[in-house]
Amino acid sequence: MLFLSVFAYAGQGGNPCPTVLDADGMSDAEMQAVAKKFGHESVFVFAPESADHDFLFRYFVPRHEMEMCGHATIGALWALARAGRLKSDMVRVKTKSGIVTGFIERRGDDWNVAITQPPGKIATLGGEAVARILSVLNADMDDLADAPVSNAATSRVKTLIPFRDVARLNELAPSAAAVEAVCEAIGSTGLYPYAVLERGKQHFEARQFPKSSGYPEDAATGIAAAALAFGLLECGLIARDDRVTRIFQGRAMGRLSAIDVRIAFAGDHAAGCLLGGDVVEIDM
């Protein structure tokens, strides 16, 4: 088993990820036990089931199996590249949410990994839902920036909540039970409040309070960052081009992380995105 940290920033931070590269023969109970033991999203790599993909990945958090996990996918592909187990620089991974394509580029003694995500779907939330979310966050309308509160998804639904400044964002301390209840009510898998850091550089900061993963906060959440990028595009906070949007996360946890999202366009139409970031091996 490897222990990786994905979306590291300057060699530190990132989201810890227990990684098993040879999971063939492991039972659901054994995989669940790994996630419970280490308290983090864990990824398990299996041989392919058919010719339409190169690997099968499964993902567990302490409380349940997940259909797909962005940082775990990037971490496992990085580890497979380092082990010399990739036949190509383009890899097809089967997950329970569909096929994800990974692109791997050698970078000196390291590897750069990016994975595909489909176009984001955005749904603005109304007054009652917003009021309930703000109550859970112990915030009010004056804390919000001039952008909609919305449910957004490229994979799992995340709730985007625009705060006026980073300091107020990093004061938030909601209870896990309250987050789970409001997420259940609004059809979300996590609250993702964010604020603008440097708009000209397309730098933003965010936090992730998951619905029911078994821990109160994530240091870096790729799927949420991808959803946020499409939300930012829709409300005009990033340019309609293929420059990188960088989302910092984990500062309040002492694990500052950096997630890079590059939206791809077909003409003026957002056709999907690439999600990437740095990976380092850690001790756990």
**pLDDT tens digits along 178-226:** 999 999 999 999 999 999 999 999 999 999 999 988 889 999 999 999 9
- Please write the tens of the pLDDT for every residue from 133-190: 999 999 999 999 999 999 999 989 999 999 999 999 999 999 999 999 999 999 999 9
**173, 248, 253 from 135: Cα distances, Å:** 12, 25, 22
Model confidence, pTM: 0.94
**157, 210, 238, 246 from 217: Cα distances, Å:** 16, 6, 26, 19
Predicted confidence at residue 215, as pLDDT, reads 87
- Please write the tens of the pLDDT for every residue from 86-103: 999 999 999 999 999 999
Pairing state of beta strands 158-162 and 190-198?
Answer: parallel
Predicted confidence at residue 129, as pLDDT, reads 97
Predicted confidence at residue 112, as pLDDT, reads 96
Residues contacting 146, CB < 8 A, separation 6+: 162
- If pLDDT is split at 50, 70 and 90, which confidence band does 54 have? very high
Predicted confidence at residue 214, as pLDDT, reads 85
N- to C-terminal Cα separation, the chain: 11
Predicted confidence at residue 258, as pLDDT, reads 98
Buried b (16+ CB within 10 A) or exposed e, 239-248: eeeeeebbbb
Taken in order of first residue, the domains within the chain and their CATH numbers are: 2-117 (3.10.310.10), 121-277 (3.10.310.10)
- If pLDDT is split at 50, 70 and 90, which confidence band does 268 have? confident
- If pLDDT is split at 50, 70 and 90, which confidence band does 283 have? confident
Residues shown for the chain: 284
**How far apart are the C-alpha atoms of 175 and 214, rounded to whole Å?**
12
Average pLDDT over the chain reads 96
Percent of the residues in the chain that have a pLDDT greater than 70, as a whole number: 100
Distance of CA 35 to the CA centre of its chain: 17
